Structure 1
Amino acid sequence: MNSLYLTRCSINTATLGHREPIDVTIDRIAKAGFGGLAPWRHEVEAADVSKIARQIRALELKVTGYCRSTYFPASTQAQRQANIQSNVRALNDAAELGATCFVMVVGGLPEGSCDLSAARMQVQDGIGTLLEEARKLAVPLAIEPLHPMYAGERSVVNTIDQAHAIARELDPQNDGFLGVAVDVYHCWWDPQLDAAISSIGKDNRILAYHVSDWLVPTTDLLLDRGMMGDGVIDLERFRQNVENAGYAGMVEVEIFSRDNWWNLPPDLVLQTCEERLQTVC
Protein backbone atom coordinates (compact mmCIF):
# COMPACT_ATOMS: atom_id res chain seq x y z
CA MET A 1 0.00 0.00 0.00
CA ASN A 2 1.23 3.48 -0.80
CA SER A 3 2.36 5.61 2.10
CA LEU A 4 0.14 8.51 3.06
CA TYR A 5 1.33 11.98 2.23
CA LEU A 6 0.99 14.38 5.16
CA THR A 7 -1.02 16.76 3.01
CA ARG A 8 -3.68 14.04 2.98
CA CYS A 9 -3.60 13.77 6.78
CA SER A 10 -5.49 15.70 9.42
CA ILE A 11 -5.12 16.03 13.18
CA ASN A 12 -8.17 16.13 15.38
CA THR A 13 -7.21 18.65 18.06
CA ALA A 14 -8.24 16.21 20.81
CA THR A 15 -5.13 14.22 19.88
CA LEU A 16 -3.06 16.96 21.52
CA GLY A 17 -5.20 16.97 24.65
CA HIS A 18 -6.66 20.49 24.39
CA ARG A 19 -3.71 21.74 26.43
CA GLU A 20 -3.05 24.94 24.51
CA PRO A 21 -5.17 27.69 22.98
CA ILE A 22 -6.65 26.71 19.65
CA ASP A 23 -4.56 29.22 17.69
CA VAL A 24 -1.36 27.68 19.07
CA THR A 25 -2.59 24.19 18.22
CA ILE A 26 -3.44 25.24 14.66
CA ASP A 27 0.03 26.68 14.17
CA ARG A 28 1.63 23.48 15.48
CA ILE A 29 -0.35 21.29 13.12
CA ALA A 30 0.47 23.47 10.12
CA LYS A 31 4.18 23.70 11.03
CA ALA A 32 4.35 19.90 11.30
CA GLY A 33 3.20 19.64 7.69
CA PHE A 34 -0.28 18.20 8.07
CA GLY A 35 -2.87 19.21 5.52
CA GLY A 36 -5.83 19.56 7.84
CA LEU A 37 -7.33 19.63 11.30
CA ALA A 38 -10.60 18.98 13.08
CA PRO A 39 -11.29 21.43 15.92
CA TRP A 40 -13.71 21.06 18.81
CA ARG A 41 -16.51 23.46 19.63
CA HIS A 42 -15.40 24.34 23.12
CA GLU A 43 -12.02 25.48 21.77
CA VAL A 44 -13.48 27.54 18.95
CA GLU A 45 -16.32 29.00 21.04
CA ALA A 46 -13.79 30.15 23.65
CA ALA A 47 -11.96 32.11 20.95
CA ASP A 48 -12.98 34.37 18.07
CA VAL A 49 -14.52 32.17 15.38
CA SER A 50 -13.83 34.63 12.56
CA LYS A 51 -10.22 35.03 13.64
CA ILE A 52 -9.72 31.27 13.84
CA ALA A 53 -11.27 30.86 10.39
CA ARG A 54 -8.89 33.44 8.95
CA GLN A 55 -5.91 31.72 10.54
CA ILE A 56 -6.92 28.35 9.08
CA ARG A 57 -7.37 29.82 5.62
CA ALA A 58 -4.06 31.70 5.79
CA LEU A 59 -2.26 28.45 6.63
CA GLU A 60 -4.13 26.67 3.81
CA LEU A 61 -5.41 23.97 6.13
CA LYS A 62 -8.52 21.94 5.42
CA VAL A 63 -11.08 21.50 8.21
CA THR A 64 -11.93 17.81 7.95
CA GLY A 65 -14.72 18.04 10.50
CA TYR A 66 -16.15 20.20 13.25
CA CYS A 67 -16.66 18.33 16.53
CA ARG A 68 -19.29 17.75 17.62
CA SER A 69 -23.07 17.92 17.82
CA THR A 70 -25.08 18.50 20.97
CA TYR A 71 -26.85 15.26 21.85
CA PHE A 72 -30.36 15.01 20.40
CA PRO A 73 -32.35 12.85 22.90
CA ALA A 74 -33.90 14.58 25.90
CA SER A 75 -36.70 13.95 28.37
CA THR A 76 -38.71 17.05 27.36
CA GLN A 77 -39.70 18.64 24.09
CA ALA A 78 -38.29 21.97 25.24
CA GLN A 79 -34.87 20.43 25.84
CA ARG A 80 -34.94 18.61 22.52
CA GLN A 81 -35.63 21.89 20.76
CA ALA A 82 -32.85 23.60 22.71
CA ASN A 83 -30.46 20.86 21.61
CA ILE A 84 -31.37 21.43 17.98
CA GLN A 85 -30.85 25.17 18.31
CA SER A 86 -27.45 24.53 19.86
CA ASN A 87 -26.58 22.45 16.83
CA VAL A 88 -27.78 25.18 14.47
CA ARG A 89 -25.41 27.63 16.14
CA ALA A 90 -22.57 25.15 15.78
CA LEU A 91 -23.44 24.61 12.12
CA ASN A 92 -23.05 28.32 11.52
CA ASP A 93 -19.58 28.19 13.07
CA ALA A 94 -18.75 25.11 10.97
CA ALA A 95 -19.74 27.04 7.86
CA GLU A 96 -17.52 29.98 8.83
CA LEU A 97 -14.60 27.62 9.43
CA GLY A 98 -15.13 25.98 6.05
CA ALA A 99 -15.63 22.54 7.60
CA THR A 100 -16.14 19.68 5.17
CA CYS A 101 -18.68 18.21 7.61
CA PHE A 102 -20.29 18.65 11.02
CA VAL A 103 -19.61 15.51 13.05
CA MET A 104 -22.66 14.23 14.88
CA VAL A 105 -22.26 12.19 18.04
CA VAL A 106 -25.97 11.82 18.51
CA GLY A 107 -26.46 11.08 22.22
CA GLY A 108 -27.62 8.20 24.40
CA LEU A 109 -30.65 7.53 26.54
CA PRO A 110 -32.28 10.53 28.21
CA GLU A 111 -31.92 10.60 31.98
CA GLY A 112 -34.27 8.11 33.60
CA SER A 113 -35.18 6.38 30.33
CA CYS A 114 -34.67 2.78 29.26
CA ASP A 115 -36.44 3.22 25.93
CA LEU A 116 -33.74 2.69 23.32
CA SER A 117 -36.15 2.78 20.38
CA ALA A 118 -37.58 6.13 21.46
CA ALA A 119 -34.10 7.61 21.84
CA ARG A 120 -33.20 6.45 18.34
CA MET A 121 -36.37 8.01 16.99
CA GLN A 122 -35.51 11.30 18.68
CA VAL A 123 -32.09 11.14 17.02
CA GLN A 124 -33.59 10.58 13.59
CA ASP A 125 -36.13 13.36 14.08
CA GLY A 126 -33.42 15.74 15.26
CA ILE A 127 -31.14 15.01 12.33
CA GLY A 128 -34.07 15.46 9.96
CA THR A 129 -34.79 18.87 11.45
CA LEU A 130 -31.12 19.90 11.26
CA LEU A 131 -30.69 18.71 7.68
CA GLU A 132 -32.45 21.66 6.06
CA GLU A 133 -30.21 24.10 7.95
CA ALA A 134 -27.17 22.09 6.85
CA ARG A 135 -28.23 22.45 3.23
CA LYS A 136 -28.71 26.20 3.61
CA LEU A 137 -25.23 26.57 5.11
CA ALA A 138 -23.63 24.02 2.74
CA VAL A 139 -22.21 21.96 5.62
CA PRO A 140 -22.81 18.19 5.31
CA LEU A 141 -23.86 16.26 8.42
CA ALA A 142 -21.71 13.23 9.24
CA ILE A 143 -23.33 10.69 11.56
CA GLU A 144 -20.58 9.02 13.57
CA PRO A 145 -21.58 5.60 14.92
CA LEU A 146 -19.97 4.91 18.29
CA HIS A 147 -18.95 1.60 19.82
CA PRO A 148 -21.91 -0.12 21.57
CA MET A 149 -20.32 0.49 24.97
CA TYR A 150 -21.44 4.12 24.55
CA ALA A 151 -25.10 3.38 23.77
CA GLY A 152 -26.30 4.36 27.23
CA GLU A 153 -24.88 7.87 27.40
CA ARG A 154 -23.13 8.97 24.19
CA SER A 155 -24.68 7.39 21.12
CA VAL A 156 -27.59 5.11 20.34
CA VAL A 157 -26.23 4.79 16.79
CA ASN A 158 -23.63 2.05 17.03
CA THR A 159 -22.95 0.61 13.58
CA ILE A 160 -22.25 1.95 10.12
CA ASP A 161 -25.37 0.16 8.90
CA GLN A 162 -27.52 2.01 11.45
CA ALA A 163 -26.09 5.37 10.40
CA HIS A 164 -26.55 4.48 6.74
CA ALA A 165 -30.18 3.53 7.31
CA ILE A 166 -30.88 6.91 8.91
CA ALA A 167 -29.19 8.72 6.03
CA ARG A 168 -31.18 6.80 3.45
CA GLU A 169 -34.44 7.39 5.27
CA LEU A 170 -33.95 11.13 5.67
CA ASP A 171 -32.15 11.81 2.40
CA PRO A 172 -33.18 9.16 -0.15
CA GLN A 173 -32.00 11.27 -3.12
CA ASN A 174 -28.58 11.80 -1.51
CA ASP A 175 -27.79 15.41 -2.30
CA GLY A 176 -24.47 15.17 -0.47
CA PHE A 177 -25.51 16.65 2.87
CA LEU A 178 -26.02 13.53 5.00
CA GLY A 179 -23.50 10.75 5.38
CA VAL A 180 -21.28 8.84 7.78
CA ALA A 181 -18.04 9.51 9.66
CA VAL A 182 -16.16 6.21 9.88
CA ASP A 183 -13.98 5.95 12.98
CA VAL A 184 -11.90 2.78 13.26
CA TYR A 185 -12.01 2.83 17.06
CA HIS A 186 -15.78 2.50 17.04
CA CYS A 187 -16.31 0.17 14.08
CA TRP A 188 -13.35 -2.23 13.86
CA TRP A 189 -15.14 -5.00 15.78
CA ASP A 190 -18.24 -5.19 13.53
CA PRO A 191 -18.62 -8.58 11.77
CA GLN A 192 -20.46 -6.76 8.97
CA LEU A 193 -17.75 -4.12 8.60
CA ASP A 194 -16.54 -4.89 5.08
CA ALA A 195 -20.04 -5.03 3.64
CA ALA A 196 -21.08 -1.90 5.54
CA ILE A 197 -18.14 0.13 4.24
CA SER A 198 -18.77 -1.09 0.72
CA SER A 199 -22.44 -0.12 1.00
CA ILE A 200 -21.87 3.45 2.17
CA GLY A 201 -19.17 3.80 -0.43
CA LYS A 202 -21.49 2.79 -3.25
CA ASP A 203 -23.99 5.29 -1.89
CA ASN A 204 -21.27 7.97 -1.79
CA ARG A 205 -21.86 8.69 1.90
CA ILE A 206 -18.40 8.40 3.47
CA LEU A 207 -17.78 11.93 4.70
CA ALA A 208 -14.87 11.39 7.11
CA TYR A 209 -12.38 8.72 8.15
CA HIS A 210 -10.79 8.71 11.64
CA VAL A 211 -7.88 6.57 12.85
CA SER A 212 -6.40 5.52 16.18
CA ASP A 213 -5.98 2.04 17.67
CA TRP A 214 -7.62 -0.30 20.20
CA LEU A 215 -5.29 -1.18 23.05
CA VAL A 216 -5.30 -4.56 24.80
CA PRO A 217 -5.92 -4.10 27.62
CA THR A 218 -7.83 -0.83 27.46
CA THR A 219 -7.77 0.85 30.86
CA ASP A 220 -10.39 3.53 30.15
CA LEU A 221 -13.06 3.09 27.49
CA LEU A 222 -13.16 6.81 26.67
CA LEU A 223 -9.68 8.12 27.37
CA ASP A 224 -7.30 5.26 26.54
CA ARG A 225 -7.24 5.10 22.75
CA GLY A 226 -4.00 3.90 21.23
CA MET A 227 -1.61 5.48 18.79
CA MET A 228 -1.83 3.77 15.41
CA GLY A 229 0.24 0.59 15.47
CA ASP A 230 0.08 0.13 19.25
CA GLY A 231 -3.13 -1.92 19.25
CA VAL A 232 -5.02 -4.67 17.47
CA ILE A 233 -6.82 -2.91 14.59
CA ASP A 234 -5.72 -3.91 11.09
CA LEU A 235 -5.37 -0.30 9.98
CA GLU A 236 -3.84 -1.00 6.59
CA ARG A 237 -6.68 -3.30 5.62
CA PHE A 238 -9.25 -0.88 7.04
CA ARG A 239 -7.89 1.98 4.95
CA GLN A 240 -7.78 -0.22 1.86
CA ASN A 241 -11.46 -1.07 2.33
CA VAL A 242 -12.42 2.58 2.78
CA GLU A 243 -10.47 3.68 -0.28
CA ASN A 244 -11.77 0.76 -2.36
CA ALA A 245 -15.24 1.99 -1.42
CA GLY A 246 -14.43 5.28 -3.13
CA TYR A 247 -13.25 7.48 -0.27
CA ALA A 248 -10.54 9.87 -1.43
CA GLY A 249 -10.67 12.34 1.46
CA MET A 250 -8.30 12.98 4.31
CA VAL A 251 -7.23 10.58 7.05
CA GLU A 252 -7.88 12.16 10.45
CA VAL A 253 -6.05 11.12 13.62
CA GLU A 254 -8.30 11.25 16.69
CA ILE A 255 -6.75 9.95 19.89
CA PHE A 256 -8.10 10.42 23.42
CA SER A 257 -5.24 9.41 25.71
CA ARG A 258 -5.38 11.06 29.12
CA ASP A 259 -2.64 9.01 30.78
CA ASN A 260 -0.25 8.64 27.87
CA TRP A 261 -0.13 10.84 24.77
CA TRP A 262 -1.75 13.84 26.43
CA ASN A 263 1.20 13.96 28.83
CA LEU A 264 3.87 14.05 26.12
CA PRO A 265 5.14 17.15 24.31
CA PRO A 266 2.69 18.11 21.53
CA ASP A 267 5.41 18.17 18.89
CA LEU A 268 6.46 14.63 19.82
CA VAL A 269 2.84 13.49 19.49
CA LEU A 270 2.64 15.04 16.03
CA GLN A 271 5.96 13.47 14.99
CA THR A 272 4.68 10.07 16.10
CA CYS A 273 1.42 10.58 14.20
CA GLU A 274 3.43 11.42 11.09
CA GLU A 275 5.52 8.27 11.40
CA ARG A 276 2.62 5.94 12.10
CA LEU A 277 0.39 7.38 9.37
CA GLN A 278 3.10 6.59 6.87
CA THR A 279 4.06 3.15 8.18
CA VAL A 280 1.03 1.38 9.67
CA CYS A 281 -2.03 3.13 8.23
Structure 2
Amino acid sequence: MTGLRRFSFNQATAQRWPLPDVVAGCVAAGVPGIGLWREPVAEHGLARSAKLVRDAGLAVTSLCRGGFFAADDWRAENLRAIEEAATLGAPELVLVSGGLPPGSRDIDGARRQVADAIGELAPHAAAAGVRLAIEPLHPMFAADRCVIATLGQALDIAELFDPTVVGVVVDAYHVWWDDTVYAQIERAGPRIAAFQVCDWVTPLPEGVLLGRALPGDGCIELRRLREAVDAAGYAGPIEVEVFSAEVWARPGAEVLDAAITGYLGHVV
Protein backbone atom coordinates (compact mmCIF):
# COMPACT_ATOMS: atom_id res chain seq x y z
CA MET A 1 0.00 0.00 0.00
CA THR A 2 1.78 3.10 -1.22
CA GLY A 3 1.12 6.59 -2.44
CA LEU A 4 -1.94 8.78 -2.14
CA ARG A 5 -4.53 6.44 -3.64
CA ARG A 6 -6.64 6.47 -0.44
CA PHE A 7 -5.60 9.87 0.91
CA SER A 8 -8.28 12.45 1.57
CA PHE A 9 -7.73 15.95 2.91
CA ASN A 10 -10.42 17.05 5.30
CA GLN A 11 -10.91 20.76 4.78
CA ALA A 12 -11.10 21.38 8.55
CA THR A 13 -7.34 20.71 8.66
CA ALA A 14 -6.73 24.02 6.90
CA GLN A 15 -9.70 25.87 8.31
CA ARG A 16 -8.70 29.28 6.99
CA TRP A 17 -8.13 28.08 3.42
CA PRO A 18 -11.15 29.03 1.26
CA LEU A 19 -12.80 26.10 -0.47
CA PRO A 20 -11.66 27.01 -4.03
CA ASP A 21 -8.07 27.19 -2.77
CA VAL A 22 -8.38 23.86 -0.92
CA VAL A 23 -9.68 22.24 -4.09
CA ALA A 24 -6.93 23.77 -6.25
CA GLY A 25 -4.29 22.73 -3.72
CA CYS A 26 -5.52 19.14 -3.67
CA VAL A 27 -5.52 18.94 -7.44
CA ALA A 28 -2.00 20.37 -7.64
CA ALA A 29 -0.74 17.88 -5.05
CA GLY A 30 -2.34 14.87 -6.70
CA VAL A 31 -4.76 14.31 -3.83
CA PRO A 32 -7.80 12.28 -4.95
CA GLY A 33 -10.31 13.04 -2.18
CA ILE A 34 -11.62 15.78 0.05
CA GLY A 35 -13.75 15.76 3.19
CA LEU A 36 -16.16 18.68 3.40
CA TRP A 37 -17.90 20.59 6.20
CA ARG A 38 -21.35 22.03 5.89
CA GLU A 39 -20.54 25.57 7.07
CA PRO A 40 -17.84 26.44 4.50
CA VAL A 41 -19.88 24.67 1.83
CA ALA A 42 -22.86 26.87 2.68
CA GLU A 43 -20.63 29.94 2.65
CA HIS A 44 -19.44 29.12 -0.88
CA GLY A 45 -22.89 27.94 -1.95
CA LEU A 46 -24.04 24.32 -2.08
CA ALA A 47 -24.51 24.08 -5.84
CA ARG A 48 -21.30 26.01 -6.52
CA SER A 49 -19.37 23.78 -4.13
CA ALA A 50 -20.70 20.62 -5.74
CA LYS A 51 -19.75 21.87 -9.21
CA LEU A 52 -16.34 23.07 -8.03
CA VAL A 53 -15.36 19.71 -6.58
CA ARG A 54 -16.92 17.72 -9.42
CA ASP A 55 -15.18 19.77 -12.12
CA ALA A 56 -11.87 19.32 -10.30
CA GLY A 57 -12.26 15.55 -10.38
CA LEU A 58 -12.10 15.18 -6.60
CA ALA A 59 -14.10 12.58 -4.71
CA VAL A 60 -16.02 13.92 -1.74
CA THR A 61 -15.25 11.33 0.91
CA SER A 62 -17.54 12.60 3.67
CA LEU A 63 -19.66 15.52 4.77
CA CYS A 64 -19.50 16.70 8.35
CA ARG A 65 -21.75 16.96 10.12
CA GLY A 66 -25.22 15.93 11.16
CA GLY A 67 -26.44 14.80 14.56
CA PHE A 68 -26.81 16.97 17.70
CA PHE A 69 -30.05 15.20 18.44
CA ALA A 70 -30.82 17.12 21.65
CA ALA A 71 -31.45 20.28 19.61
CA ASP A 72 -35.08 21.28 19.03
CA ASP A 73 -34.64 21.38 15.26
CA TRP A 74 -32.59 18.17 14.95
CA ARG A 75 -34.92 16.46 12.49
CA ALA A 76 -35.16 19.29 9.96
CA GLU A 77 -31.46 20.05 10.27
CA ASN A 78 -30.44 16.46 9.65
CA LEU A 79 -32.78 16.08 6.70
CA ARG A 80 -31.09 19.14 5.19
CA ALA A 81 -27.70 17.60 5.87
CA ILE A 82 -28.70 14.40 4.07
CA GLU A 83 -29.84 16.42 1.05
CA GLU A 84 -26.59 18.39 1.06
CA ALA A 85 -24.51 15.21 1.18
CA ALA A 86 -26.43 13.81 -1.77
CA THR A 87 -25.96 17.01 -3.76
CA LEU A 88 -22.22 17.00 -3.07
CA GLY A 89 -21.87 13.32 -3.92
CA ALA A 90 -20.69 12.53 -0.39
CA PRO A 91 -21.36 8.86 0.38
CA GLU A 92 -21.11 9.38 4.15
CA LEU A 93 -22.75 11.94 6.44
CA VAL A 94 -20.82 12.05 9.71
CA LEU A 95 -23.06 12.19 12.78
CA VAL A 96 -21.88 13.74 16.04
CA SER A 97 -24.68 12.81 18.40
CA GLY A 98 -24.67 15.84 20.68
CA GLY A 99 -24.48 15.98 24.46
CA LEU A 100 -27.02 15.73 27.25
CA PRO A 101 -30.29 17.60 26.77
CA PRO A 102 -30.38 20.87 28.74
CA GLY A 103 -30.82 20.16 32.44
CA SER A 104 -30.56 16.39 32.03
CA ARG A 105 -28.22 13.91 33.72
CA ASP A 106 -29.73 10.89 31.96
CA ILE A 107 -26.96 9.76 29.64
CA ASP A 108 -28.61 6.38 28.99
CA GLY A 109 -31.76 8.17 27.90
CA ALA A 110 -29.73 10.48 25.68
CA ARG A 111 -28.17 7.48 23.96
CA ARG A 112 -31.58 5.93 23.40
CA GLN A 113 -32.69 9.22 21.87
CA VAL A 114 -29.75 9.05 19.45
CA ALA A 115 -30.76 5.55 18.36
CA ASP A 116 -34.41 6.61 17.91
CA ALA A 117 -33.41 9.67 15.89
CA ILE A 118 -31.17 7.66 13.60
CA GLY A 119 -34.01 5.21 13.10
CA GLU A 120 -36.20 8.08 11.96
CA LEU A 121 -33.53 9.40 9.58
CA ALA A 122 -32.38 6.07 8.13
CA PRO A 123 -35.12 5.71 5.47
CA HIS A 124 -34.44 9.23 4.20
CA ALA A 125 -30.70 8.55 4.04
CA ALA A 126 -31.25 5.27 2.21
CA ALA A 127 -33.48 6.97 -0.35
CA ALA A 128 -30.80 9.63 -0.91
CA GLY A 129 -27.96 7.11 -1.24
CA VAL A 130 -26.18 8.53 1.80
CA ARG A 131 -24.88 6.43 4.69
CA LEU A 132 -25.22 7.79 8.22
CA ALA A 133 -21.82 7.44 9.91
CA ILE A 134 -21.95 7.54 13.71
CA GLU A 135 -18.79 9.06 15.14
CA PRO A 136 -17.90 8.32 18.75
CA LEU A 137 -16.02 11.14 20.47
CA HIS A 138 -13.59 10.90 23.37
CA PRO A 139 -15.46 10.58 26.71
CA MET A 140 -14.38 14.08 27.77
CA PHE A 141 -16.94 15.39 25.25
CA ALA A 142 -19.87 13.27 26.51
CA ALA A 143 -21.70 16.00 28.42
CA ASP A 144 -21.81 18.74 25.82
CA ARG A 145 -20.86 17.34 22.45
CA CYS A 146 -21.31 13.58 22.04
CA VAL A 147 -22.90 11.04 24.37
CA ILE A 148 -21.60 8.27 22.10
CA ALA A 149 -18.14 7.89 23.62
CA THR A 150 -16.79 4.56 22.36
CA LEU A 151 -16.74 2.61 19.13
CA GLY A 152 -18.65 -0.13 20.95
CA GLN A 153 -21.48 2.27 21.80
CA ALA A 154 -21.61 3.46 18.20
CA LEU A 155 -21.81 -0.13 16.98
CA ASP A 156 -24.59 -0.95 19.43
CA ILE A 157 -26.69 1.56 17.50
CA ALA A 158 -25.35 0.89 14.01
CA GLU A 159 -26.07 -2.82 14.31
CA LEU A 160 -29.79 -2.05 14.51
CA PHE A 161 -29.67 -1.07 10.83
CA ASP A 162 -28.49 -2.26 7.45
CA PRO A 163 -24.71 -1.62 7.23
CA THR A 164 -25.17 0.13 3.89
CA VAL A 165 -27.42 2.69 5.59
CA VAL A 166 -25.81 3.23 9.01
CA GLY A 167 -22.13 2.78 9.79
CA VAL A 168 -19.47 4.10 12.15
CA VAL A 169 -16.49 6.42 11.96
CA VAL A 170 -13.12 5.31 13.30
CA ASP A 171 -11.38 8.57 14.23
CA ALA A 172 -7.93 7.97 15.69
CA TYR A 173 -8.12 10.99 18.00
CA HIS A 174 -11.25 9.71 19.70
CA VAL A 175 -10.64 5.94 19.90
CA TRP A 176 -6.89 5.35 20.27
CA TRP A 177 -7.02 5.21 24.11
CA ASP A 178 -9.67 2.45 24.26
CA ASP A 179 -8.26 -0.96 25.21
CA THR A 180 -11.16 -2.62 23.34
CA VAL A 181 -10.78 -0.64 20.13
CA TYR A 182 -9.11 -3.37 18.08
CA ALA A 183 -11.77 -5.90 19.02
CA GLN A 184 -14.44 -3.30 18.17
CA ILE A 185 -12.84 -2.56 14.81
CA GLU A 186 -12.94 -6.28 14.02
CA ARG A 187 -16.57 -6.35 15.14
CA ALA A 188 -17.38 -3.35 12.93
CA GLY A 189 -16.28 -4.97 9.68
CA PRO A 190 -18.43 -3.62 6.83
CA ARG A 191 -19.96 -1.02 9.13
CA ILE A 192 -16.76 1.07 9.01
CA ALA A 193 -17.92 4.04 6.96
CA ALA A 194 -14.92 6.33 7.42
CA PHE A 195 -11.40 6.30 8.86
CA GLN A 196 -9.92 9.59 10.04
CA VAL A 197 -6.41 10.17 11.29
CA CYS A 198 -4.56 12.83 13.25
CA ASP A 199 -2.34 12.66 16.32
CA TRP A 200 -2.65 13.33 20.06
CA VAL A 201 -0.23 15.76 21.65
CA THR A 202 0.60 16.49 25.27
CA PRO A 203 0.18 18.64 27.13
CA LEU A 204 -3.24 19.32 25.69
CA PRO A 205 -3.90 22.98 24.94
CA GLU A 206 -6.67 24.88 26.65
CA GLY A 207 -9.75 23.81 24.82
CA VAL A 208 -9.02 20.13 24.24
CA LEU A 209 -10.99 20.04 21.00
CA LEU A 210 -7.96 21.71 19.41
CA GLY A 211 -5.46 19.23 20.88
CA ARG A 212 -4.86 17.41 17.62
CA ALA A 213 -1.71 17.30 15.54
CA LEU A 214 -0.66 16.19 12.10
CA PRO A 215 0.14 12.48 11.74
CA GLY A 216 3.49 11.64 13.30
CA ASP A 217 3.57 14.60 15.69
CA GLY A 218 2.01 12.78 18.64
CA CYS A 219 1.67 9.43 20.37
CA ILE A 220 -1.00 7.44 18.48
CA GLU A 221 -0.12 4.16 16.74
CA LEU A 222 -1.71 5.32 13.50
CA ARG A 223 -0.31 2.58 11.29
CA ARG A 224 -1.58 -0.07 13.71
CA LEU A 225 -5.08 1.42 13.54
CA ARG A 226 -4.90 1.57 9.75
CA GLU A 227 -3.81 -2.06 9.59
CA ALA A 228 -6.73 -2.98 11.85
CA VAL A 229 -9.38 -1.25 9.73
CA ASP A 230 -7.84 -2.82 6.63
CA ALA A 231 -7.99 -6.27 8.25
CA ALA A 232 -11.65 -5.64 9.08
CA GLY A 233 -12.30 -5.17 5.37
CA TYR A 234 -12.26 -1.39 5.07
CA ALA A 235 -10.63 -0.29 1.83
CA GLY A 236 -12.00 3.24 1.63
CA PRO A 237 -10.51 6.71 1.95
CA ILE A 238 -8.29 7.76 4.84
CA GLU A 239 -8.99 11.36 5.85
CA VAL A 240 -6.47 13.54 7.60
CA GLU A 241 -8.56 15.74 9.89
CA VAL A 242 -6.80 18.04 12.37
CA PHE A 243 -8.23 20.70 14.69
CA SER A 244 -5.30 22.80 15.86
CA ALA A 245 -4.81 26.53 16.23
CA GLU A 246 -1.11 26.06 15.48
CA VAL A 247 -1.84 24.15 12.29
CA TRP A 248 -4.58 26.57 11.24
CA ALA A 249 -2.15 29.48 11.54
CA ARG A 250 0.06 28.02 8.81
CA PRO A 251 -0.49 28.58 5.06
CA GLY A 252 -2.91 26.07 3.59
CA ALA A 253 -0.51 24.67 1.00
CA GLU A 254 2.08 24.10 3.72
CA VAL A 255 -0.46 22.28 5.87
CA LEU A 256 -1.51 20.04 2.99
CA ASP A 257 2.12 19.19 2.25
CA ALA A 258 2.75 18.37 5.91
CA ALA A 259 -0.40 16.25 6.06
CA ILE A 260 0.76 14.24 3.04
CA THR A 261 4.21 13.77 4.56
CA GLY A 262 2.75 12.60 7.86
CA TYR A 263 0.31 10.29 6.11
CA LEU A 264 3.00 8.65 4.00
CA GLY A 265 5.40 8.36 6.93
CA HIS A 266 3.07 7.21 9.71
CA VAL A 267 -0.19 5.84 8.31
CA VAL A 268 0.43 3.82 5.15
**Under TM normalisation by the shorter chain, which class is it?**
over 0.9
Aligned residue runs from structure 1 range 123-272, under 5 A: 123-169=114-160, 171=161, 174=162, 176-201=164-189, 204-219=190-205, 220-258=207-245, 260-272=246-258
**Structure 2 counterpart of 1:25, which letter?**
V
Q: How far apart are 1:111 and its partner, in Å?
A: 1.6
Between the aligned partners of 2:23 and 2:38, the Cα distance in structure 1 is: 14
SS of the aligned residue for 1:39 comes to strand
* Aligned: 1:6 with 2:4: yes
Counterpart amino acid of residue 15 in structure 1: T
The alpha-carbon deviation at position 128 of structure 1 amounts to: 0.7
Length, aligned pairs only: 266
- Determine which structure has the larger strand proportion and give its number: 2
Q: Which amino acid is the alignment partner of residue 19 of structure 2?
A: I
Selected match of 2:85 from 87, 94, 104: 94
TM-score, structure 1 normalization: 0.92
Structure 1 unmatched runs, 5+: none
How far apart are 1:269 and its partner, in Å? 0.6
Of the candidates 20, 24, 36, which is equivalent to residue 21 of structure 2? Answer: 24
Give deviations 1:171-214, integer Å, cap 9, x for gaps. 1xx2501000110000000110110000001xx10010000001
Displacement after TM superposition at 1:116 (Å): 0.7
User: 1:140, 1:178 within 8 Å by CA — same for their partners in 2?
Assistant: yes
Contact 1:92 1:137 in 2 (8 A): yes
Separation in 2, partners of 1:184, 1:115: 27
Task: Specify the SS of the correspondent of 2:210.
Answer: coil
Please say if residues 17 and 252 of structure 2, whose CA atoms lie closer than 8 Å, have aligned partners that are also in contact.
no
Deviations 1:232-265 (A, max 9, x none): 101111111110111100110000001x111111
Tell me which amino acid in the other structure corresponds to 1:280. Answer: H
Q: Is the 8 A contact 2:9 2:241 kept in 1?
A: yes
Q: Deviations over 1:82-137 (max 9, x none)?
A: 21111101110100100020000010011211111111111111111111110110
Q: Which residue of 1 aligns with 2:264?
A: 278
CA distance in 2, matches of 1:20, 1:184: 24
Provide TM-score, normalisation by structure 2. 0.96
Overall identity of the aligned pairs, in %: 42
Tell me how far 1:47 sits from its aligned partner: 2.1
Residue 120 (structure 1) aligned with residue 86 (structure 2): no
Q: CA RMSD in A?
A: 1.1
Consecutive unaligned residues of structure 2, counting only runs of 5 or more, are: none
CA gap 1:147/1:175 in 2 versus in 1, 3 angstroms: closer
Which amino acid in 1 is paired with 2:216?
G
Kept in 2, the 8 Å contact 1:109–1:156? The answer is: yes
Give the drift of 1:51.
1.7
- Checking the alignment, whether the CA contact within 8 Å between 1:7 and 1:33 is kept in structure 2 is no
Partners of 1:16 and 1:240 lie apart in 2 by 26
Distance 1:125 1:182 in 2: 22
Partner of residue 110, structure 1: 101
* Aligned mates of 1:192, 1:149 — CA distance in 2: 18
The answer to whether the Cα contact below 8 Å between 1:15 and 1:255 also exists between their aligned partners in 2 is yes
| Aligned-partner Cα distance in 2 for 1:175–1:229 | 32
Contact 2:163 2:191 in 1 (8 A): no
